[in-house]
């Protein structure tokens, strides 16, 4: 007869160490349960498909952003530039953006939120690599370090994310939606959102933390509804039709509404603050909010060992640091400017345009640093 399983705190710690050793086993004899073994692959192949969709989607988004940036640079060098939305290159970038977001949307139907949401760092690091290769931007030491940290964090996330597989049916979503955990979370989130919105609208407080916290609160609803809609569509394709249930359309409306208001608030943040500040903070806030939403609504860490959770969170921190290093000081880099220094003439101001290079982007400036030119009528205009 088999010996009884050990009980107590020591048994829980032993189980966590066993799980860690299984996740870190490479090339061991026998069947094995390590990250490269057949057993590990069979256990996680559905999740890996979702991870692959998310990574490919984020890389396509990186390509689309660089294509749009390249189209803007081309227009800036034209003597009579036409509106950017009339260019085929810009529309090509928009189409690729839609394809990438579709991949991200589908990924939530195959893998947990806590696994897919942090992979957004792949979009930032991928964009940095593509801009260096094709737009000839400088590759800095901080970029290399940031990419290394982001890739290391991604590896830990994929290996130590919750290993649960849920069939997201309409009845499952309804059960989670009316549960006391989500009800409590939803009421608390609405209260915080209303308080922050009051200070933002009524008191005129436009601090970046307030704006991005509002975005993150909406993002938690977005990822919950995106996984519900994507999961129900996947369940309809592979098993039984779920699109006739009212909860599908409720989640669909929540998904669209939360996305629209997120974009509006993000636009306000990018107008008021530098992109190099907004991108890493938004990635961090969004990921934390998405992880909390996945834990509360879909119970994705239920039964997970402490050590597994710790290494997963450590992977998140590495990805956050990687994004910060890649985006750091990028907003301070400018295109080369071709001014002609004619010296300072006492008592006179230089108001005429100075453009010896037909391909240049810059004009002469006032001695005091303000950017203005003369109109044909003689009035001074701000550029």
How does pLDDT run along the chain (383 residues), one tens digit per residue? 444 444 544 554 455 445 444 444 433 333 334 454 555 566 567 888 888 999 999 898 888 888 888 887 777 777 777 777 777 887 888 888 889 888 899 899 888 999 999 998 888 888 888 888 887 778 888 889 999 999 999 999 888 887 777 788 999 999 999 999 999 999 999 999 999 999 998 888 888 999 999 999 999 999 999 999 999 999 998 888 889 999 999 999 999 999 999 988 988 888 888 877 888 999 999 999 999 999 999 988 888 889 999 999 999 999 999 999 998 876 555 444 433 344 444 454 544 444 444 444 444 444 444 444 444 444 444 44
340: helix, strand or coil: coil
HSE (side-chain half, CA atoms, 13 Å) at 132: 15
What value, to the nearest 5°, has the Cα angle with vertex 161 and ends 158 and 166?
110
Packed helices 275-297 and 246-272: angle between N→C axes, nearest 10 degrees = 160
Q: What is the sign of the dihedral through the CA atoms of 161, 289, 330 and 81?
A: positive
What's the rounded Cα separation, in Å, for the pair 115 and 51?
Answer: 8
Task: Provide the residue ranges of all domains of the chain, joining segments of one domain with +.
Answer: 44-165, 167-298
Distance of alpha carbon 81 from alpha carbon 73, whole angstroms: 11
| Dihedral angle computed from the Cα positions of residues 10, 16, 22 and 23, in that order, rounded to the nearest 10 degrees | -160
User: Residue 381's beta-bridge partner residues?
Assistant: 373
CA-closest candidate to residue 190, choices 217, 228, 169: 217
* pLDDT value, residue 332: 53
254 vs 324: CA distance, rounded Å: 30
The answer to whether the beta carbons of residues 230 and 109 sit under 8 Å apart is yes
Question: Which among 88, 85, 83, 90 has a CA at the least distance from the CA of 69?
Answer: 90
Residue 334 in tokens:
């400018």
Three-state secondary-structure class, residue 374: strand
pLDDT score, position 10: 52
The residues near 82 (Cβ < 8 Å, ≥ 6 apart) are 75
Q: Please give the pLDDT value at position 366.
A: 47
pLDDT at 316: 94
Alpha helices in the chain (DSSP H): 9-23, 38-76, 88-107, 113-116, 121-134, 141-160, 170-177, 180-201, 208-238, 246-272, 275-297, 306-327
Kindly report whether the global pTM for this prediction surpasses the value 0.75. no
DSSP 143-182: HHHHHHHHHHHHHHHHHHS--------HHHHHHHHTSHHH
Measured distance CA(265)–CA(253) in Å, rounded: 19
- Tokens describing residue 176: 């989670």
Distance CA 122, CA 126 (A): 6
């Amino acid at each position: 007869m088999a010996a009884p399983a050990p009980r107590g705190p020591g048994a829980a710690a032993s189980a966590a160490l066993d799980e860690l050793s299984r996740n870190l086993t490479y090339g061991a004899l026998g069947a094995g349960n390590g990250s490269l073994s057949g057993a590990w692959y069979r256990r996680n192949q559905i999740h890996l498909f979702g991870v692959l969709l998310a990574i490919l989607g984020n890389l396509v988004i990186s390509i689309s952003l660089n294509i749009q940036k390249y189209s803007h640079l081309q227009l800036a060098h034209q003597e009579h530039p036409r509106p950017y939305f009339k260019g085929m290159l810009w529309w090509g970038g928009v189409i690729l953006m839609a394809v990438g977001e579709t991949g991200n949307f589908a990924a939530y139907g195959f893998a947990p939120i806590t696994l897919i949401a942090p992979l957004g760092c792949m979009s930032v690091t991928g964009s940095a690599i593509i801009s260096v290769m094709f737009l000839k931007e400088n590759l800095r030491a901080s970029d290399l370090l940031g990419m290394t940290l982001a890739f290391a964090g991604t590896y830990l996330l994929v290996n130590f994310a919750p290993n649960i597989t849920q069939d997201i049916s309409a009845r499952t979503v309804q059960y989670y939606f009316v549960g006391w955990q989500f009800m409590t979370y939803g009421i608390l989130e609405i209260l915080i959102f209303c308080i922050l919105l009051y200070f933002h609208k009524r008191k005129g407080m436009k601090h970046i933390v307030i704006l991005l916290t509002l975005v993150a609160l909406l993002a938690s609803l977005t990822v919950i509804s995106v996984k519900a809609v994507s999961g129900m569509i996947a369940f309809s394709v592979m098993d039984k039709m779920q699109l006739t249930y009212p909860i599908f359309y409720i989640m669909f409306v929540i998904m669209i509404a939360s996305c629209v208001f997120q974009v509006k608030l993000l636009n306000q943040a990018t107008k008021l603050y530098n992109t190099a500040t907004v991108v890493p903070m938004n990635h961090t806030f969004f990921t934390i909010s998405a992880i909390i939403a996945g834990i509360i609504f879909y119970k994705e860490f239920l039964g997970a060992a402490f050590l597994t959770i710790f290494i997963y969170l450590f992977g998140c921190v590495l990805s956050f640091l990687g994004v910060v290093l890649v985006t750091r000081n990028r907003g301070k880099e400018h295109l080369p400017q071709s001014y002609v220094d004619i010296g300072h003439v006492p008592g006179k101001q230089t108001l005429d345009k100075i453009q010896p290079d037909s391909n240049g982007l810059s004009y002469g400036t006032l001695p005091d640093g303000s950017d203005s030119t003369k109109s044909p009528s003689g009035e001074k205009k701000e550029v």
